[in-house]
Chains A and B, each alone.
Chain A
């Protein structure tokens, strides 16, 4: 749930998603879900020579299981808050 909440806070920001097939897509984060599936708008493929067919894609739904990285704008990430949230998540008693 932590990263789901984290990405929810980044809705509207520009991110770059690198997929496991090495495809990199830039776009604006429109929505994210519990599986970390991502919906992007204003999609731009970063290497149009290698993946020319994606140039016509305007908005995309990317399945969470195929994402390798999500590159974030550093100014939009509060690392202190993230660290605190991580500590809380670990120390919280697990629901049986």
Chain B
């Protein structure tokens, strides 16, 4: 069933719902934690996407930087959400743009900190006799 009529509005099911979003600039969040901003050029029934003029937006705290990534094909299973952007919307929490070098440095520090905390957590769990295997199927989100 590709088209259904509910409440007198018709809408498309599955990935067909995104056809109206083609050629729009969208924010795509992936399961590995990355965020892209790009033009959606194409999609298929699995949610595989073709993203054009893509930027990877790396955010650490309130600072961000955009790394140009060009043309991308993303396998649909990796997508978390696809959002329409309104850059004129006032932000409750302001964001500050920094250089790419700066954000990569901040990201590295952030990951190291998270790593340390995770190690401490696992050590504490071990001391209580618990072993954390993580999620064996889906590791990253």
Do A22 and B92 have beta carbons less than 8 Å apart? no
Decide if A21 is an interface residue (CB 8 Å cutoff).
yes
Within 8 A of B (CB), among A26-65: 30-31, 33-35, 37, 39, 43, 48-49, 52-63, 65
Which residue on B lies nearest to A63, using beta carbons?
B79
* C-alpha spacing A31/B1, complex, angstroms: 14
Partner of B87, one of A11, A34, A56: A56
Do A56 and B80 have beta carbons less than 8 Å apart? no
Within 8 A of A (CB), among B66-93: 76-77, 79-87, 89, 91-93
* C-alpha spacing A37/B16, complex, angstroms: 11
Binary contact readout B6-22 vs A (1 if CB under 8 angstroms, 0 otherwise): 11000111110110010
Do B13 and A34 have beta carbons less than 8 Å apart? yes
Partner of B85, one of A25, A34, A56: A56
Do B138 and A20 have beta carbons less than 8 Å apart? yes
Do A21 and B82 have beta carbons less than 8 Å apart? no
Do B33 and A58 have beta carbons less than 8 Å apart? no
| Chain A residues positioned under 8 Å from B131 (CB to CB) | none
Which residue on B lies nearest to A20, using beta carbons?
B141
* C-alpha spacing A59/B91, complex, angstroms: 16
Do B92 and A33 have beta carbons less than 8 Å apart? no
| Chain B residues positioned under 8 Å from A77 (CB to CB) | none
Do B141 and A60 have beta carbons less than 8 Å apart? no
| Chain A residues positioned under 8 Å from B76 (CB to CB) | 63
Decide if B124 is an interface residue (CB 8 Å cutoff).
no
Do B17 and A61 have beta carbons less than 8 Å apart? yes
* C-alpha spacing A33/B64, complex, angstroms: 34
Decide if A66 is an interface residue (CB 8 Å cutoff).
yes
Within 8 A of B (CB), among A59-85: 59-63, 65-66
A-B interface, 7 closest residue pairs, ranked by CB to CB distance from nearest: A21-B141, A57-B83, A33-B13, A60-B83, A48-B93, A31-B11, A61-B82
- Give residues in B with beta carbon < 8 Å to A: 1, 6-7, 11-15, 17-18, 21, 27, 29, 31, 33, 35, 47, 57, 59, 62, 64, 76-77, 79-87, 89, 91-93, 95, 138, 141
